[in-house]
Chain A
Amino acid sequence: MWAFPRGTGRVIANLVAPPFPPELLRTAATTAIEAAIHAGAEWADIRVGEERTLSIFGHGGELQLGCGYSLRVRVGGAEAFVTGADPTIVDITTAAQRAVATAKSLVPTAAGTTDTLAKVPVVKGEWRVPMAIDPFAISIDDHVAAQVSSDGEFDRHLFRFQQLENGMAGASCRWKQGTKVFASSDGSLVTQYLTTVEPHAEVRLGWPWRAHPGEPFSLFGMKSVVPCSGGFEMITHPDRYAYMQARAEELLSYTALPAVPLEIGRQDVVLDGDLHGQLIGTVIVPTLSLNRALGNEIDVGGTSLFSPPESMRGQAVLPALLSCRAAPDAPHYGAAAWDDEGVATTPSPLIVDGVLTNYLASRATAAFHGERNVGPLPGITQSQLGALPTELPPCVAVAPANGASSIAELCKQMGNGILALSGYVSTDPSGLGGYIYPWMMLEVRQGTVTRRLYGQRMMYSTKRIFKTLTALGDAGTQYTAVCREFSPGVPWVNLTHAVSAPAALYHNIDIVPSHMQS
């Protein structure tokens, strides 16, 4: 990791050159495939990549470089993955030999199995995320300046927060840019140049991780611009600054409200787009994995609410209000032309009017389903560098309500209850249920925000909570939440994916006693 102060005017790309240019990654990939076949593999594929992560803060930035590969070989029905961090020819060749040797050692264990991979077209080519300004071709100073408006108005709003007792505010941004190469012994060889941005602004009143009983706190992630794929132009749109200033004003108005502890019981709740996206992304998206639904992961976490796939596909599993689709196209977060198994990506429905239409599948589970007709959706896998591909699309979009329905209107429809803004959601590995941790909760009486609430959290049972979905917000309430999902591997990998969702009104959510854990 490298740290850079502001004021140097140095262009990021000139500071640290990528350690592995694309041609070297392609050579490494094809060399590994050749080495694996030469060592006796019947089939092999590989993901090789390098990635630069630039984190921008008020005072400067940090740059992390990473690279890695994951090689898969098949021999006699056995499958072996070998992952590594350094795609040099020497390292990757020995890794290929090791993978084949491992697979061969497991051939007796594979006796009698007939598993295969779904056939997909051979692909060749390059793809680049569309962008006008490369964020790595400008200076740290330009990046830092972009965190606030050019006239400093947003800076002044943040400063006003910092003047409040226990108040803190700041803006940050995380850029990821990298090159991914996929190759297989079928003849596929594709190179993708990917760039994503996760902008973030946050204000705090009190310390959520250090709060003691009786101490109010609120933390608020501000919706500046949604996480997305694209260039520097994605975060410098004038509307963004106007929006951030308006949100800052709104938050400042909340700080004047009295803060009272939230009482245990059941309450109607309006979740903003961020929190609703977290709920869908944490609970619904991972359980659409066909590998889970088929029961292949019972020894590493659990199965799925949507098991067994044969009987669940085509069933109304969620309220008719809910429809969502995989959204791999730009400028959605994580946009790519091919997934991490070399399958072309296309926007595809997952849930249509509450009916389970498609599962998320890899080539292995898609082939597995072939006999079972459960509607798999290949072309959605993603992986971190040096990790296995996982049935997790980088972005899922939930359709908003057709008519006008702002958060204020949802609050009016609710009458009395809670408006929950930003936060995160936990779940058990099978998606049975878990907790919603809003960063800010506001009491709503007769459709109007009256007080700040603190001290408890919400508990949900997945089957029950979605039955209580009453209304969705319109497109104006849509926000892209960034979620985390642990992907099986060695070690487990904390994968990032996004869900774009509108605000939503739920009835009778359990409010349970709890406290933040340090």
Chain B
Amino acid sequence: MSEKNHFGESTSAMIEGLLKRRADPVAPRRVMTRAESEALALFVYDIIKVPSANVTIHHRATSVVTQRLGHSPRSIDVDDLQLSWGTRLGSAVNVYITTNVRDLTALRRVMQSAIANQTPPLVGPLGDDGPDATDLPRRVTYVPVSLWYPSTIAAMAGERGAAITALLAPLRGTSWHGVATAAFSAQSFWNYTAEGATPAWGELTDAEISLSVRAADGTASGWSGQANRDWSKLSPAQVAQTALANAEQQRNPSRAEPGRYTAILSPTAMGQMWGAAAHNFNVESFSPFDPPSHKAVGDKDRRGERVMDASITLTSDPADPDGGDWPFFYGDGGMGEANPKSVWVENGILKLRSVDVATGLGYGMIPRKDPRAMRMSGGSSSVEEMITKCERGIYVHRFANLQVIDGHSGAMSGYTRDGCLLIMNGKISRPVKDFRIFESPFLMLNRLVALGKPQRIAFGFTPPNPFDVNARWPLSPMIVPPVMVTDFNFSALADAV
């Protein structure tokens, strides 16, 4: 069939071109281009016949390779195209189709079936039960970003095997067990909110490598990872060395009494805490930023108050060169709204809260995404200098299973993992068995001693947080420093397995 788009090209030809690329493992591009997305969107509009409908096309190509030392490598490849349209916010009349259909006849049949059975009719009169998409204050100036790296696309097909080999290389011939992971993501996103509005378009890549090292008897473990949108910035050899050194350091751990210690948290550990706490910035969540009598969105909160140490500034910037994010709202009810640079906390003072689009409209607030992509300001201390300054403390390399337990304080619980060292009199004394922790990042940053240099952390290809549906791999970039705080609550001993 021949469907002409407004570029004068054949829609079916463009989509067939994409299909051919998908069969080629070394194709230079794995997801739809802007022109291909627009051609598909025009095809959708032609069928649904609602010019003001919000149409979203999100195309994701993901590839993960894992290998256990001495065993077969395993790869998983997913090509996922999500096409959705709707006419309303709030109680929206929305239709979501997740499809890999590239056959336009089949796609037309699926869409027409959806429209025919939609109740209330998609093209019928709209009720008065919520803010309309056309009520949105149109903020269509997107921050210019550059999140797409050809090096990552090339590595997705060509270098992943070599990366896995390099990650496992230092373990060969040793008694350590290890599992290495290399994960890649390419995404394109096209969204058109209302007739006459500027379409939101974006494309990004991301990559992450990690290595877990374990002693055969399960008594010691190490982990390291790196994440970057640009594959060429990752170093499998460095990750391997760090993970192995980390495991060697953790050999033969002994017990230390639970209690409050000065803690030195690696950037990974600090970033994991912020990752779990991102939703606490939202006006609709229980939050340490609520006043004690908080009952509803719109109550005066603690904006303008000092909420953490004056040396802390927290920002989200889609154009952050070390990470960045979509320049528009996607998820959290977002429909192509701009995602501007946001300063959440400046010199310890709370400046902003996040709010989704529908709630923001209702309360006259500018919608802002939860700060899952965030940069925390740093300082000049290295981890080694922090250890030198520490009389009695614990170094934490990483956490596992962090969950916010009390939203009002931001207190979360979890386990230390893959590196927990006792520090005595300015030196690492010995490895210790893992702890369960109970601590709030918001409160602990009022007990700050030192900050190091921020860096983007790798979260690892770990299970998503069941309490946060948006926290799925690849997680948004978190750029944080190592921190040293006093009186960190290591609440109980835990058996690491």
Contacts and interface: CB of A to CB of B under 8 A. Distances in A.
A78 B497 contact: no
Contact of A305 (B74, B103, B497): B497
B401 A429 contact: yes
A58 interface: no
For this complex, into which size category does the number of interface residues on chain A fall? 35 or more
Given A91-B100, A295-B68, A492 B76 contact: no
Interface of A: 1-5, 15-16, 19, 66, 74, 77-86, 88, 90-91, 94, 97-99, 101-103, 105-106, 108-110, 112-113, 115, 212-213, 295-305, 307-308, 368, 388, 426-430, 432-435, 459, 461, 463, 484, 486, 488-492, 512-518
Nearest to A19: B110
Contact of A113 (B71, B75, B408): B71
Contacts of B408: 213, 515
Contact of A97 (B23, B76, B404, B463): B23
Given A388-B76, A486-B463, A302 B25 contact: no
A103 B161 CA distance: 10
A67 to B, nearest CB: 9
B218 interface: yes
Contacts of A88: 101, 103, 106
Nearest to A63: B117
B19 A430 contact: no
B153 to A, nearest CB: 15
Quick one: which of B25, B103, B113 has the most chain A CB within 10 A? Answer: B25
A427 B113 CA distance: 42
Interface in B71-105: 71-81, 95-96, 98-103
A131 B407 CA distance: 46
B179 A102 contact: no
Contacts of A297: 179
A106 B295 contact: no
B284 interface: yes
B246 interface: no
Given A16-B113, A113-B70, A102 B25 contact: yes
Interface of B: 19, 22-25, 62-68, 70-81, 95-96, 98-103, 106, 110, 113-114, 117-119, 157-158, 160-162, 164-165, 177, 179-181, 183, 210-212, 214, 218, 221, 223, 279, 282, 284-286, 294-295, 400-401, 403-408, 413-415, 436, 460-464, 466-467, 472-473, 492, 494-497
10 contacts: A15-B117, A77-B72, A82-B76, A82-B78, A101-B24, A106-B164, A113-B71, A300-B460, A429-B401, A429-B463
B402 to A, nearest CB: 10
Contact of A3 (B63, B119, B461): B119
Contacts of A91: 19, 100-102
Contact of A300 (B461, B467, B492): B461
Contacts of B494: 432-433, 461
Nearest to B243: A299
A105 B25 contact: yes
Nearest to A76: B72
A20 to B, nearest CB: 11
Contacts of A213: 408
Given A98-B25, A108-B162, A303-B497, 14 more contacts: A15-B117, A79-B72, A80-B75, A88-B106, A97-B23, A106-B160, A298-B179, A426-B403, A435-B403, A435-B405, A488-B461, A490-B64, A515-B408, A518-B286
Contact of B285 (A99, A212, A308, A517): A517
B462 A428 contact: no
B73 A78 contact: yes
Contact of A85 (B95, B100, B161, B413): B100
Contacts, number: 236
Given A82-B77, A486-B464, A90 B401 contact: no
Given A299-B212, A303-B497, A518-B286, A492 B406 contact: no
A75 to B, nearest CB: 10
Nearest to B406: A515
Contacts of A85: 80-81, 98-100
Interface centre among A77, A82, A213 (most CB of B within 10 A): A82
B212 A426 contact: no
Contacts of A82: 76-78
Given A78-B73, A517-B467, A518-B285, A298 B78 contact: no
Given A85-B98, A106-B65, A517-B286, A491 B472 contact: yes
Contact of A299 (B73, B210, B284): B210
B466 A103 contact: no
Contacts of A305: 497
A516 to B, nearest CB: 7
Contact of A302 (B102, B118, B406, B497): B497
Given A78-B73, A388-B76, A432-B415, A300 B497 contact: no
Contact of B117 (A2, A430, A461, A515): A2
A86 B472 contact: no
B75 A81 contact: yes
B473 A492 contact: yes
A463 B494 CA distance: 10
Nearest to B221: A298
A492 B472 contact: yes
Nearest to B79: A84
A513 B440 CA distance: 14
Chain A CB within 10 Å, residue with most, of B24, B62, B78, B212: B78
Contacts of A98: 22-25, 77
A307 B179 CA distance: 16
A102 B77 contact: yes
Contact of A486 (B180, B218, B466): B466
Contacts of A102: 25, 63, 75, 77, 157
Contacts of B19: 90-91, 94
Contacts of B100: 84-86, 91
B26 to A, nearest CB: 8
B181 to A, nearest CB: 5
